Amino acid sequence: MAFALKYGCNPHQRQAEAELGAGAPVRVRSGKPSMVNMLDALNGWQLVAELKAVLGLPAAASFKHVSPAGAALAATLPDDLRRAYELGNRQLSPLATAYARARGTDPKCSFGDFAALSDPVDAVTAAYLRGVVSDGVIAPGFEPGTLDVLAAKKGGAFVVIEADPSYRPPASEAREVFGVRLTQERNNCRIAFEHLDHVVCGQVTESAKADMLLGLVTLKYTQSNSVAYAWGGQTIGIGAGQQSRVDCTKLAGAKADVWHLGRHPKVRGLEFRAGVKRQERINWRVRYIEGDMTTAEQAAFAQALALPAAPLTPAERADWLAGMDGVSLVSDGFIPFRDNVDHAQRHGVRFIAQPGGGSRDDEVTAACREYGIAMAHTGLRLFHH
């Protein structure tokens, strides 16, 4: 059965539909999704379902434009991250915590995201979703009352999609581009701990293995080329869709730095005037961290604050970032040059998982040994387009 979508990738592409008849993997429970909403939902659901299957914890992802801005597992949040994630005294369920962590990876990019959840939506998660700027959610079910809460969001425009966890996709998949139908075998490789058995240098800790698996599953559904930094059961920076691997590494590293600086006492101590909205506070913190505001932005920032704030100095920034350690870097393709390692070590990376098989593997491995970084060759490329 053809289901009419709101529009295609752009509003002027008015004719757009999805086949959602009997046996479809999802059904729309509320709202009218666009083409991008559906792509985000379908990719996001596969990611969180696989994370839950591999690591056994509630999982969540925050999707934007067919790539995750963040992905995470449920875990107890320390006070500094509760502050950074704007949680206040709110008590969260494990599923809501996973989504708060996923959204906290890159809160600027998660603005207007599509949420993907591995477990049925509970009342706490529904209440949290109601309070953030998001376009929709996909989950395998909804506890009593939560569907009504979500359906009322955005005046009924919030998209709610229910996934069928029992659905098994066909062995092959196809798409049509410019009149040409392209078919391939579906990427059915299930990420597992065994993919980390080939350690070529150093020793990989058990916690790092979990972070590496989180990163591998995340990149399986991220537009390539892609690199992810993971720490403590969540991504802290994702570089997606870059033509150069080292550009992915730099982009993800810059995002990881912003994430880590969000825990700095000066950032956590920013006090805003009453009436400044949650997303505005988040955006101001990011601008404050990045430190490149124009004169007009500085004036607007001062107006938003309840108390004056001293800038974050270069020395303070460097000292704080030097304390970041134990980060895992995962790459969807082999690392071709040591410059990726040279850059990664600046962001606290101590563990790397990559396919291996490049002509300069020896140089890359030597760089890892030089910096005390452990590296595993997975033998598995995870390009996604």
Enumerate the active-site residues: 64-65, 225, 385
Please name the residues in contact with 284: beta carbons below 8 A apart, sequence gap of 6 or more: 270, 272, 276, 301, 304
CA 185 to chain centroid, in Å, comes to 26
Backbone CA torsion sign across 179, 180, 181, 187: negative
β-strand 349-354 against 327-331: which pairing, if any? parallel
Cα distance between residue 192 and residue 322, in whole Å: 32
Q: Strand pairing partners for 160?
A: 30, 137
Q: HEC string of 305-332?
A: ECCCCCCCCHHHHHHHHHCCCCEEEEEC
Cα distance between residue 267 and residue 271, in whole Å: 9
Residue 13: helix, strand or coil by DSSP? coil
The residue assigned the tokens 């690392």 is 335
Contact 329, 380 (CB under 8 A): no
- Listing DSSP states for 211-240 in one string gives HHHHHHHHHHTSPSSEEEEEETTEEEEEEE
Cα distance between residue 15 and residue 5, in whole Å: 8
